[in-house]
Structure 1
């Protein structure tokens, strides 16, 4: 019996480590990762050259789509592949494999921030850079009243697992579906938007927002596969609940079940991205300066906060006015309005509070391991 208990304790520890480290590495808005290339040519040298050109072009296109609104896709600037290098700071290669005529690899690119900004501004395109805190998505499958969240079959959950969320502004986290998840949240609680249970899930995955994506099967074909569905997405976050409903989503005549469900999951993910970008479009024509005070527990805390401020897109400059052992006074030079500044700061665990006419910057990670 003791060995069984020890096993579950060990499993819980391993799971906790996995959950806490899964989203530790913060995404960078001008970095595109995981571009896979596989090219065959007359020889490996030519295959590698073509693959790097293809990967660069894919990464460049992915970056522009990441930063801009979907409505502006037809107006994105086109840059000759030979001229794209001027926008790239560096790139890396992993998983490289070759044969006499074939080249395979996974590429990651880091682009020059100001060069990309100037390119988009020259075209008059609106864009966002702020990376959202991760969002936890729960795929709830409703088949004739039978709710599936952790139980199989749940093809809706499988559709989400097949998506890649690597290069968006809104990182999506999918639950592990382990014992802690199963015991912490039932399918019925998810359907009822049980706030206490959902907040527990949010804390477990270290997110501020939970989205319950409920897919309701409305009709099936002779094989029992869904052909028409209704989609209800409910978001629980700092601003409360927000619900959207899409009725009568129909499967295409030649569309497989998996492709159909993946298309719907992609539309939900794209909706999260678009909503976030609209709220965080950079407003270069509007700027301000905000004097703030920050209480610190030593120089290391200030260095950490300063580093996080450098990753806030709307903060253009941090001007140091006073530095003492326990207090820092700074002037935040920012673009956009105050609400956008506050929302952007919260994505890096900083907040603003006001008392009278004085503003204070609060380090929400104070007392937590850095």
Structure 2
């Protein structure tokens, strides 16, 4: 946890603080000295509880099969956790772990349901594995592995399909939207919401509105689903004629605070070899019901994976980058606001330590040391509704409630 130094206030300032009568004297001193009996940890420890896995194992006996299944579940859960938190370029640094080393990282093993054969050595179970957040963080840091545990606020996926001059969003014939709705995406740091496509959605925004990047309408439908932004993903479908393999181009743009609005374009093409696995294009109507089905699945996987990687890279906690620091000015409306900010800083993994330089009823000046890049710190704070920006007027950093 970050450590903060003791604060010494002049007596006249202490007297001014007494107007906050809602706090007892001991609580007031505790608040300004930076101590509390119980820290409110804001780091998302829930990330280290991996979603339930279904494991099936065969062994010489049911007992042996269960033992093997538990080991398998822990290894699979560990791999899924690494894939979620660690950028792909860093995953090559992951060491091979023995069963004992892996077990030392496990905090909970829950088996909601299990089934055993009678003498056939078969074991099937739903198993949920939770890892120790503190040990996992140390595991990454000690090995110089950069990771992220800043969860993005939800984004709404708006899949638009274009074919020639025909643009579709809510139409039943929009196979691109239906493919997204039926996709089975693994958990990530960027949660995505899927629109229902009901009457209220249809009246909220059209495909032309989306393609025109109508900010008001995009933010309005995002808010309807509790999202703070939109992933506008546009599949440009080419007509399949003369036995040619299907091709499509996917343009992806994220309209949300904390994300750049660059357009990323991906090209996908079905190959003759892959077509031959399911049928001939000459007999598409009878043997290949949807020549684009595989491309949709491939494109969704690429778009989603790229989205997660982009977020991880932007919000890295990099143990190889140490000693970054800055002094930030924090305007305060009241004492409770400082308490919230202090608890927030206490819970941020990338914050190594902070020190109160000066504080009064109107503002606090805090020196903060953090691992990783400044833009990563800014992004993490933005997810908690605070903007950290350089203020040209005072030639320093300011932390402002959004």
Q: Scaled by the length of structure 2, what TM-score is found?
A: 0.71
Q: CA deviation at 1:270?
A: 0.8
Give unmatched runs, 5+ long, in structure 2.
1-43, 279-290
Tell me: CA distance 1:295–1:176, structure 2 relative to 1, closer, same or farther (3 Å).
Answer: farther
Asked if the contact 1:219–1:229 (Cα under 8 Å) also holds between the matched residues in 2, the reply is no
* Structure holding more strand per residue: 1
Tell me: CA distance 1:37–1:351, structure 2 relative to 1, closer, same or farther (3 Å).
Answer: same
Asked if the contact 1:292–1:332 (Cα under 8 Å) also holds between the matched residues in 2, the reply is no
Q: CA deviation at 1:358?
A: 6.1
Give the aligned partner of residue 261 of structure 2.
241
Give the aligned partner of residue 297 of structure 2.
262
Asked if the contact 1:141–1:216 (Cα under 8 Å) also holds between the matched residues in 2, the reply is yes
Give the aligned partner of residue 205 of structure 2.
185
Asked if the contact 1:32–1:63 (Cα under 8 Å) also holds between the matched residues in 2, the reply is yes
Q: Relative to structure 2, which stretch is displaced further, 37-46 or 176-185?
A: 37-46
Q: CA deviation at 1:118?
A: 4.0
Give unmatched runs, 5+ long, in structure 1.
1-25, 365-370
Task: Tell me the secondary structure at the aligned position of residue 247 of structure 1.
Answer: strand
Asked if the contact 2:144–2:318 (Cα under 8 Å) also holds between the matched residues in 1, the reply is no
Alignment match of 2:123 (pick from 95, 102, 107): 102
Q: State the structure with more CA Rg.
A: 2
Return the alpha-carbon distance in structure 2 between the equivalents of residues 171 and 41 of structure 1. Answer: 38
Q: Scaled by the length of structure 1, what TM-score is found?
A: 0.77
Q: CA deviation at 1:165?
A: 4.3
State the aligned residue count.
336
Q: CA deviation at 1:279?
A: 1.9
Task: Tell me the secondary structure at the aligned position of residue 32 of structure 1.
Answer: coil
Tell me: CA distance 1:356–1:169, structure 2 relative to 1, closer, same or farther (3 Å).
Answer: same
Asked if the contact 1:226–1:257 (Cα under 8 Å) also holds between the matched residues in 2, the reply is no
* 1:290 aligns to 2:327 (yes or no): yes
Give the aligned partner of residue 368 of structure 1.
none
* 1:86 aligns to 2:104 (yes or no): yes
Q: Relative to structure 2, which stretch is displaced further, 151-160 or 316-325?
A: 316-325
Give the aligned partner of residue 247 of structure 2.
228
Q: CA deviation at 1:88?
A: 2.0
Task: Tell me the secondary structure at the aligned position of residue 52 of structure 2.
Answer: strand
Tell me: CA distance 1:283–1:102, structure 2 relative to 1, closer, same or farther (3 Å).
Answer: closer
Kindly provide the CA deviation profile for residues 108-132 of structure 1, in whole angstroms up to 9, marking residues without a partner as x: 423333x334433454433323222
Give the aligned partner of residue 309 of structure 1.
345
Asked if the contact 2:106–2:131 (Cα under 8 Å) also holds between the matched residues in 1, the reply is yes
Asked if the contact 1:138–1:213 (Cα under 8 Å) also holds between the matched residues in 2, the reply is yes
Tell me: CA distance 1:259–1:104, structure 2 relative to 1, closer, same or farther (3 Å).
Answer: farther
Return the alpha-carbon distance in structure 1 between the equivalents of residues 56 and 242 of structure 2. Answer: 39
Q: CA deviation at 1:170?
A: 1.6
Tell me: CA distance 1:54–1:306, structure 2 relative to 1, closer, same or farther (3 Å).
Answer: farther
Tell me: CA distance 1:38–1:296, structure 2 relative to 1, closer, same or farther (3 Å).
Answer: farther
* 1:139 aligns to 2:159 (yes or no): yes
